[in-house]
Each structure stands twice: as structure tokens, then as C-alpha cells.
Amino acid sequence: MLRAAWRGFVGGAWHPAVVRTAYRCRAYPDQAQQQVLARTFGCVRVVWNRTLAERRRRWQQERRGTTYAQTDAALTVMKKDPELVWLNEVSCVPLQQALRHQHGAFRAFFGKRARYPRFKSRHGRQCAHYTRSAFSMREGELRLAKAAGPLALVWSWPEVDVGVLDPTMVIVSKEPDGRWYVTFAVDACEPEPLPAAGRSVGIDLGVTSFLVMSDGKKIANPRHLERRARNLARYQRRLARCQRGSANRAKARAKVARAHRKVRNARADFLHRTTTRLVRGNDLIAIEDLAVQNMVRNRRLARAISDCGWGEFRRQLAYKCQRAGRRLIVTDRWYPSTKTCSACGFLLAGLPLKTRAWRCPSCRTRHDRDLNAAKNILAAGLAAARDHPGDACGADVRHPKTPPVQSAVKQEPQPARAGIPVHQDGE
């Protein structure tokens, strides 16, 4: 996963860009290591929940915020508490990282980029972050602090030599279905940009068809959750009938988690294949800025929209375009791509969602709703690329009234041209 990049002169020599890359693979800890890691997960969860509770109490009663230095001092006090003396049995690094992550979560919340941080549960995903001081990596063997012996893992990237891997951080996690994973965060050289493909494409996302491209190609929606909904419902009914705290309930919960994992993995595989194919075959990709959070409020379409994974699709396109040297243009959320004639620019006053095809009153061209929108999105993307040729890959085209975000381009309404909306007289 692409995280960050830098390049420049270091020590008088030119160095290529460096990107933060993550490799996630299966881990198979033995019984002793599982006990140590489970104890670490529990300590991380206790530190997170107690710190979060104290933050909330301090704000509600005193109307004062909490700094990271104050949480760090509170952790020292917690370790000296006789009731929490077992916090000293695990590595202190994952505990410190939990405080850093909570501080970052609150900064994202106040920056309106995320919701309010929540308490951690023992039934959800458990993880611990280890920095360089808490692990060693030699000849492909990973050793964690406070854990005896190397951690067994399966490396799935034959083109990368795990023996020379130099990770900056290691994340050990356990999913609700019982599987263990280890993630290596490394600083790697940025790959070379892909050769020019000589093509541009506009994409309109939907539910019936996952996406429609401006050249007329369609990719059907695989509906991963809908295909497994019956089995998932049966497993959930069995879970509801089990007594709380029993071993059978734990087994039923793991079976529900495995069913969700299969859906999640199938969706991720589909999105990766689709985005990779788009990035390799096009120099410029134009998509629309969808308000997914507002769209899922429709209870009739919420599950179908969530099953599509539009947000993850856009995220993958963004970092893959940046890594491959492609341009990603995100058109304005209020751009009327569906109601605009891609042939003459006529703009309809309204177009119900149930209308899947319409004829332009001006030029009498018959349009498929989704294909017409994809053509208009491509036209708007090409116009933005011409107006701002020097912008970096992944530049956004947003409406001036939208909330402030990281945006490289802001485009005003365009003059009359094919594919750009033009209000006609009387409309």
C-alpha cells in the first residue's frame, strides 16, 4: 500500500523516491507465543480504553483536552498501580503506540476526517504495533520482544527477498475468525512509471453494473455479500441461539467471522483486479465524487451500496495512479453528468432514478443513463487536465462550496462545449 513518497539530494547525490509499503502475510505462532501476544493484546486494549475514558471524563467535567504527554504520564501511573502491575509483563512499545494512535485518532476527529474514537472490544480484531526497538529481523526470522523464539510466517512475495527485508514497523494481529497475521511496513524505492497507454477513460459507478466506462464497456456488480447472505444469516441465527459465554457461542462467532472474511477477501480481490486493469490501460482516469456516507442513509439501498465498496475503489485508484504515474481526476460532486447530453451539452431540468435511458430534446440523441454520465465525466476530466496540465497525479476537481479537503484543482463551470452542461433558455 502506498503511504508516502520523497525524493531529493542526500549527501550530494540524487536519490530516487521512497514509498512506505506494507506486506501482510499469515503468521503461525506457537502456544507460548500466542499466550504472550494475547496478553499484549489485552494490555493494549486496557490502556486504550482507560485512556479514552479519562479523556471523555476530563472533557465532560472540566472542559479541557488531553495532550499526548499527559496520556504518557498516565500510562506510567497505571503501571505502578498494584491492580495493573501485569502491564509490566509485556513490551512497553505496543502500549506507547496505542497512545500515539489514539492521539492521532482524535486529531483526525477534530479535523473532521474520522468519527469519534470508540472503545476496543475483546471480540473484535486484536493488534499490537512493534517499532524497531521491540523486534529484530535477521535472515527472514522475526523475533518479538517478550516472545521466545522466531515467529513462524508464510512469505507470499517471491520477487521480494525476505532475508534482506528491513521493516520500520511490525504489526501482529489476530482476526475474529482466529487467523493470525503479521504486517511489515518498509521503506522501498518507488517503482518506475508505466509506459504511456495513449488512452483516457471516464467511469460512472453504479449498483446494477459496478462501473460503466466511457468507451461503452461495463463491469457487472459481483454482489459478494448478496451471494453469501443466506449462509451468513444461518450462521448468525445459530450464534443468536447460543448461550453467552459458552464454548459453542465462541465457535459460532468464529464461523460468522469466517463467512465475513470470505466476502471481504472476494470483494478486495475484485477491486484490486479492476483498479489494476484500469491503471495499466489508461493514462487519465476520471471518476465522480460520490457522497457515499449520504447515500447509505437510504435503507433500501444501503446494503447494496456498501457491498460495492466504492470508497475502497477510489482509494485504490488514487494510490495506484500515483505509483504508476497516471492522472486521476475526480469531478465535482454537484456536476450533473447524468442529466447532460454528451453530444450537444443540453441540460435536463430533472431525471428520475428509474429512468435508465432518455432522448435529448435538442439533438434527439438517445442516451443510456450510465454511459452518458461516463462520457460527460471523461469530458470534464479532460477539460480539467487541459486547464491544469502541471498538477500531480490524483488531483481532485471539486465544487467551491464543498468542505475543504486536500485538493489540487478547483474547477468553475465550463463554457458551452460538447459534454459540458449548458443551461438552455427556459430551463
pLDDT-based confidence at 118, cuts 50/70/90?
A: very high
Q: What is the pLDDT of residues 303-328, one digit of tens each?
A: 999 999 999 999 999 999 998 999 99
Task: Please name the residue ranges forming H helices in 24-168.
Answer: 31-62, 68-80, 92-110
SS3 268: helix
Give the C-alpha distances (Å, rounded to integers) separating 340 from 380, 419, 423: 12, 7, 9
| pLDDT for 70 | 95
Active site residues: 204, 288, 370
Q: What is the pLDDT of residues 19-74, one digit of tens each?
A: 888 999 999 999 999 999 999 999 999 999 999 999 999 999 999 999 999 999 99
How many angstroms separate the CA atoms of 214 and 218, rounded? Answer: 9
User: Above 70 in pLDDT, residue 13?
Assistant: no
Give the C-alpha distances (Å, rounded to integers) separating 232 from 125, 177, 248, 268, 355: 19, 14, 17, 18, 34
C-beta separation of 154 from 25 below 8 A: yes
| pLDDT for 352 | 87
How many angstroms separate the CA atoms of 237 and 53, rounded? Answer: 33
User: Above 60 in pLDDT, residue 336?
Assistant: yes
Here the cell at position 227 is 451471494
Q: How many CA atoms lie within 13 A of 72 on its CB side?
A: 9
Query: What dihedral angle (degrees, nearest 10) is formed by the CA atoms of 255, 260, 265, 266?
Result: 110
Give the C-alpha distances (Å, rounded to integers) separating 120 from 41, 126, 201, 324: 10, 9, 42, 37
Backbone angles phi, psi at 181, to 5 degrees: -135, 150
C-beta separation of 91 from 139 below 8 A: no
Q: What is the mean pLDDT of the chain?
A: 86
pLDDT-based confidence at 390, cuts 50/70/90?
A: low
Q: What is the pLDDT of residues 210-259, one digit of tens each?
A: 999 999 999 999 999 999 999 999 999 999 999 999 999 999 999 999 99
**DSSP state, residue 346:** B
Q: Region 349-360: what's the mean pLDDT?
A: 88
CA dihedral sign of residues 162, 20, 17, 328: positive
Please report how the helices 247-281 and 229-241 are oriented relative to each other, as an axis angle in degrees rounded to 10: 160
| pLDDT for 180 | 97
Here the cell at position 415 is 463554457
Q: Residues near 401 by Cβ (< 8 Å), separated by ≥ 6?
A: 334
Q: Which residue has the higher pLDDT, 122 or 16?
A: 122
**DSSP state, residue 417:** B
